[in-house]
Structure 1
């Protein structure tokens, strides 16, 4: 009994040390995660078939895609992403239009959220990986009723031309929502994670159930997106000095907002003068 307790204590101690190390070295930890997950699926590609096979039947295919509720769930992720992006853009535009007023939020927040969204789910996932790696989606491969051969992770092929399976865009967008956790007060971070992480899992599993992505597409997408978020967070918040500060952003938007106002006033005066000239000529005739 004492031996069992001792082993459990050692295991808990190792777990705490591993967690502490990951917190202290997050980028290295996530890089290792991506490497290990990639290696695992290269060595055991059959796990992808097992995971997708849970949602497939020879008679109905990937029938989850025919369930209205699950289709609505799929749209929840893009809706939240668009909503947050619109709010971020609005904060920046309002600061430009009303440069003399303090911004609605510290400007690094919308800059951080928009840059991670554009560079992560936008450029890295959709523009680079999905459009160039050529991995067919599960519903397109021979094992699940399609006519294309299965391709392992990270293998560049011509089996798919664009918007392919590797990696998952929805999984990336779901993981991108975690970027909000980096910006909320410390006391809110655990509740925010408790909401966002299950949502990320639900959105990602939903795509596997639809035959849209393999399990490996999802797990690797999570790691790559989180790695990019951590890199930009380091540039904007961790490094001293940061790549750009709230004060410098405020100054830039204030200066350019006032310049925009002056340009707008000059343009308005020119339009008024042109309108008076045209009206004068009409009245003379």
Structure 2
């Protein structure tokens, strides 16, 4: 519960900064924008494009792996106890509630924020809006918040459940993956800094909320099976 509260407080503070100083987003994005060519000079970079597509493939592999582990574990144990499938179920829940519902479905559609490369400041025709501002500048697959970054966070959460010597390496790799996915999207002009940062916050809020509910469910499960 403490981690959930702390994460919410941090999210509120970060959100307040981006809402109060929206030009932060413009400034960071401008670092990757060429005034001469009037475009984000890394938008069509092949390496960055590969990294962007990589997020989808890694998400598919992680979800497929988690689903297969659940199936094989059930075939082997015939158990309905949550504890036997805990890491895999948590990953699936965080993905569907966090990445799919909160990030991709609700936030992008509800706030309608235009992507950096589409706004007037960067040779587009859409108006810039600050984080959490509801607008009509975008109607589909909008900027706020970043799906790709949420996938990086999903891998980070997965790494928390690793054991042995590989756990530390997995966590380090996953942190780098979050930064890589986030930075790639900003450099391409596909997302503002606030999109990727708040996406990370959203995912951890969902994760800790699931852990809080999980704790209640485990207590109930123990009573049932005791």
TM-score scaled to structure 1, two decimals? 0.71
Give secondary structure in 2 for the equivalent of 1:241. Answer: helix
Q: Any unmatched runs of 5+ in structure 1? A: 1-23, 249-285
Q: Which protein shows a greater Rg?
A: 1
Please point out which of 86, 95, 111 is paired with 1:133.
111
> Pairwise mapping of residues 167-182 of structure 1 onto structure 2 (< 5 A)?
167-182=145-160
RMSD: 2.5
2-structure distance, mates of 1:240, 1:34: 26
2:59 alignment partner in structure 1: 81
Evaluate the alpha carbon distance shift between residue 187 and residue 44 of structure 1 in structure 2; reply closer, same or farther with a 3 A threshold: same
Q: Deviations over 1:146-169 (max 9, x none)?
A: 001101111111111121001111
Please point out which of 50, 53, 69 is paired with 2:27.
50
Residue 141 of structure 1: how far off its partner (Å): 0.4
1:41 aligns with 2:14: no
Residue 45 of structure 1: how far off its partner (Å): 0.8
Residue 129 of structure 1: how far off its partner (Å): 0.5
2-structure distance, mates of 1:242, 1:214: 42
Q: Deviations over 1:25-46 (max 9, x none)?
A: 2112211111111110111111
- Which sits farther off after the overlay, 68-77 or 134-143? 68-77
Residue 241 of structure 1: how far off its partner (Å): 3.2
2-structure distance, mates of 1:128, 1:243: 31
Q: Any unmatched runs of 5+ in structure 2? A: none
Please point out which of 65, 83, 90 is paired with 2:68.
90
| Count of residues paired in the alignment | 221
2-structure distance, mates of 1:157, 1:70: 29
1:32 alignment partner in structure 2: 9
TM-score scaled to structure 2, two decimals? 0.88
